[in-house]
């Protein structure tokens, strides 16, 4: 294998690296035999020296302020978005110091890091494992992300790879990678669901697999729901018990908080295998907390979280236009799916057997390796094609605050759309392009993704420039926007990198509101279009009247001027049907004027 491409599962709790060849995919172990890397970092506050993985996790209770975990939940997020999590984190998270004011930084003693830098350290360690395995430098990787990661989170992942010295040749959605790991691309024609509940995120994807083509029909999820949340429920239970037993005034320093978190994780894992687990925590000063927790208690605690995942499953099926019973297989992915209650609930919801033949902790990394081998031309499945989808509609702002939609929700990536615009003012030398995301018709109701300006347009009358605006979503789900004025060749473009991304709650809200307000939004959009048309049409007729002043009879001129004044008086009307009829009548009455202009132009030509 001359230039291997590795597959990486950059996880909230654990991260893995794998590769695939003609013999199939397999996990790459560390030089000392570890099959996975805990996504935990310890930064020495005195020297800045880095410890990563299992050793860093062992330091978590002793040095909680300098031990960093769950970094994936910070990627592409603003401080406001992660504020509910801050009370569960033993380290400091502050607003980013740079230009991106809505990003965050992590403090470890005097040292300050972005989530991308911290994730890059994890990726660099996995890269080192792969280089030790192959005994050669590794520079390319397929990296997985949750299907519901938005533009900002995907960009942050690519940035982390670059910092680690890796080219992210493909960003693959975790559920699609899991399907690849199961070899489901060999299915002739089958509907499958991939239920992916990891440490920090949840995804559900409904896919149709047919002759090596994976077509995502529907996807939903929550980038803020995972095994960490189950741990937090157990920590809250411990805290309530301890304060009941030893007094409500008892405080928990960072060291104790981290110890409670470790106990919670251990109990959760134990209850996946046994029906009860014993907890013993030394609180100091002769105080000891002891408790037996049953699997039934844990299942009661986590029931609301499981229900949230099933709500996402219902939304994904609705998007796909399917019923639960139509899904042939449900693939379980992620460490949290070891819980018997979760497997049972998912099996009941889909009325199907859940598939766990491949280690749920390794599935995503193995699938990433399969995709890497396809890209490298090294595997058996070179004809496999992945067709993921755009989670929300993409468009641009037009005059009056309306949105022209170019790429619809559910479009398969990669995808491309273009439309033509022109200027609204004579001699206009630049045009601002504002890119938006959402299901509504008006700018104020959508999410801004970015703006740029097309400058240097040669002075021309309004309506003459031909500006082609193109949106491209690549195979990684990354959006690029370009604009070109065709007559002059002037062009500009950006890769849209939002300052921070959408939360799952915002995405759900935007989709719901898009449906609820569709009728009124379309009416508002129509009114704006008509008002713009009034300005364009009346200006054009006035300009033609001035040009043909020596040919137009006085009575006809006065009639057109009167009609122009009447139509312009409708600029503040909110009855689109009356405005449309008035415009139609004006255009009918001005048709002879247009014919005169054409005849004159032909004669002069």
Task: Classify each residue of 310-346 as buried b or exposed e, where b means 16 or more C-beta atoms within 10 Å of its C-beta.
Answer: bebbebbbebbebebeebbbbbbbbbbbbbebbbebb
As a residue count, the chain comes to 605
* DSSP annotation of 106: E
Kind plus residue range of the DSSP H or E element containing 415:
strand 415-421
Mean pLDDT across the stretch 39-65? 88
Spatial distance between the Cα atoms of 512 and 305, rounded to a whole number of angstroms: 21
**Residue 45: other Cβ atoms inside 10 A:** 15
Spatial distance between the Cα atoms of 282 and 236, rounded to a whole number of angstroms: 17
Name the more confident of 523 and 559. 559
Q: Which two tokens mark 252?
A: 């928990």
Mean pLDDT across the stretch 139-152? 85
The answer to whether the beta carbons of residues 363 and 172 sit under 8 Å apart is no
Per-residue pLDDT tens over the stretch 435-479: 887 777 888 877 777 777 888 888 888 878 888 888 887 766 667
Q: Where are the domains of the chain?
A: 6-225+301-387, 227-300, 394-516, 519-604
For the domain bounded by 6-225+301-387, which CATH number is listed? 3.30.420.40
| pLDDT at residue 501 greater than cutoff 60 | no
Identical fold for domains 227-300 and 394-516, yes or no, is: no
Q: Point out the residues that are catalytic.
A: 9, 72, 174, 196
| pLDDT at residue 137 greater than cutoff 50 | yes
Q: What is the pLDDT of residue 389?
A: 64
Share the mean pLDDT of the chain: 83
* pTM to 2 decimal places: 0.64
**Residue 79: other Cβ atoms inside 10 A:** 18
Q: What is the pLDDT of residue 447?
A: 72
The residues pairing with 190 across neighbouring beta strands, listed in sequence order, are 209
Could you tell me what percent of the chain has a pLDDT over 70? 89
Q: What is the pLDDT of residue 498?
A: 40
Class of domain 394-516: mainly beta
| pLDDT at residue 187 greater than cutoff 80 | no
Mean pLDDT across the stretch 256-268? 87
Strands 213-222 and 202-210 come out as antiparallel
Spatial distance between the Cα atoms of 524 and 547, rounded to a whole number of angstroms: 35
156: which residues sit within 8 A by CB, 6+ positions away?
Answer: 75, 76, 115, 116, 119
239: which residues sit within 8 A by CB, 6+ positions away?
Answer: 252, 260
For residue 401, give the 3-state DSSP assignment. coil
Peptide bond into 244 cis (omega under 30): no
The answer to whether the beta carbons of residues 18 and 7 sit under 8 Å apart is yes
Only one residue has tokens 């403090």, namely: 107
Considering the domain delimited by 519-604, tell me its CATH architecture.
Up-down Bundle (1.20)
- In CATH terms, 227-300 corresponds, of 1.10.10.2520, 3.30.342.10, 3.90.640.10, 3.90.1200.10, to 3.90.640.10
For residue 435, give the 3-state DSSP assignment. strand
DSSP letters, 561-600, are HHHHHHHHTTTT---HHHHHHHHHHHHHHHHHHHHHHHHH
- Strand ranges across the sheet with 415-421: 415-421, 467-473, 479-485, 491-495
CA 357 to chain centre: 29
| Confidence band for 383, pLDDT divided at 50, 70 and 90 | very low
Mean pLDDT across the stretch 80-84? 84
Q: What is the pLDDT of residue 100?
A: 46
Q: What is the pLDDT of residue 9?
A: 95
CA 394 to chain centre: 13
Q: Which two tokens mark 482?
A: 């370009």
Alpha-carbon torsion angle 565, 566, 570, 571, nearest 10: -10
Per-residue pLDDT tens over the stretch 224-238: 788 889 999 999 999
Spatial distance between the Cα atoms of 128 and 130, rounded to a whole number of angstroms: 5
**Residue 105: other Cβ atoms inside 10 A:** 20
Nearest to 445 by CA among 498, 412, 473, 405: 405
Q: What is the pLDDT of residue 133?
A: 93
């Amino acid at each position: 294998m001359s230039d291997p491409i590795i597959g990486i599962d950059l996880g909230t709790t654990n991260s893995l690296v794998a590769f695939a060849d003609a013999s199939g995919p397999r996990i790459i172990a560390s030089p000392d035999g570890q099959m996975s890397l805990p996504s935990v970092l310890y930064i020495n506050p005195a020297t800045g020296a880095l410890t990563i993985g299992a050793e860093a996790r062992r330091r978590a209770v002793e040095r909680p302020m300098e031990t960093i975990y769950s970094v994936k939940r910070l990627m592409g997020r603003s401080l406001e978005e992660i504020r509910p999590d801050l009370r569960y984190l033993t380290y400091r998270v502050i607003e980013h110091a740079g230009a991106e004011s809505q990003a965050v930084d992590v403090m470890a003693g005097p040292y300050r890091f972005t989530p991308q830098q911290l994730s890059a350290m994890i990726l660099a360690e996995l890269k080192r494992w792969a280089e030790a395995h192959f005994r050669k430098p590794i520079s390319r990787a397929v990296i997985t992300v949750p299907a519901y990661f938005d533009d900002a989170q995907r960009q942050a992942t690519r940035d982390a790879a670059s910092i680690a010295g890796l080219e992210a040749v493909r960003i693959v959605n975790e559920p699609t990678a899991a399907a690849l790991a199961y070899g489901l691309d060999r299915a002739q024609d089958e509907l499958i669901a991939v239920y992916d509940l990891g440490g920090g995120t949840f995804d559900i994807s409904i896919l149709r697999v047919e002759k090596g083509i994976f077509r995502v029909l529907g996807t939903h999820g929550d980038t803020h729901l995972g095994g960490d949340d189950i741990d937090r429920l157990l920590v809250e239970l411990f805290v309530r018990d301890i304060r009941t037993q030893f007094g409500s005034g008892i405080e928990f320093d960072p060291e104790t908080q981290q110890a409670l978190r470790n106990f919670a994780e251990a109990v959760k894992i134990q209850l996946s295998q046994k029906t009860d687990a014993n907890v013993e925590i030394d609180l100091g000063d002769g105080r000891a907390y002891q408790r037996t927790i049953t699997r039934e208690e844990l299942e009661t605690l986590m029931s609301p979280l499981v229900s949230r995942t099933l709500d996402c499953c219902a939304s994904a099926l609705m998007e796909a236009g399917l019923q639960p019973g139509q899904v042939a297989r449900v693939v379980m992915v992620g460490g949290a799916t070891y819980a018997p209650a979760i497997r049972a609930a998912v099996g009941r919801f889909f009325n199907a057997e859940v598939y766990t033949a491949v280690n749920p902790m390794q599935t995503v990394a193995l699938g990433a390796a399969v995709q890497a081998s396809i890209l490298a031309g090294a595997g058996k499945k070179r004809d496999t094609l992945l067709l993921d989808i755009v989670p929300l509609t993409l468009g641009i702002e037009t005059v009056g605050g309306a949105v022209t939609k170019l790429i619809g929700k559910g479009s398969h990536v990669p995808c491309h759309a273009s439309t033509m615009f022109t200027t609204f003012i004579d001699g206009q030398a630049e045009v601002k392009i504002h890119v938006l995301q959402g299901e509504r018709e008006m700018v104020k109701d959508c999410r801004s993704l970015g703006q740029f300006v097309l400058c240097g347009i040669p002075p021309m009358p309004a309506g003459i420039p031909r500006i082609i605006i193109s949106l491209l979503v690549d195979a990684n789900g990354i959006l690029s926007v370009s604009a070109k004025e065709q007559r002059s060749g002037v062009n500009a473009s950006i890769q849209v990198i939002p300052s921070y991304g959408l939360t799952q709650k915002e995405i759900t809200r935007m989709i719901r509101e898009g449906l609820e307000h569709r009728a009124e939004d379309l009416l508002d959009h129509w009114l704006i279009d008509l008002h713009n048309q009034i300005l364009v049409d009346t200006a054009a007729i006035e300009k033609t009247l001035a040009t043909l002043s020596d040919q137009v009879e006085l009575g006809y001129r006065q009639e057109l001027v009167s009609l122009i004044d009447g139509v312009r008086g409708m600029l503040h009307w909110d009855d689109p049907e009356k405005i449309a009829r008035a415009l139609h009548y004006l255009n009918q009455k001005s048709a002879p004027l247009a014919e005169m202009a054409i005849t004159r132009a032909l004669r002069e030509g």
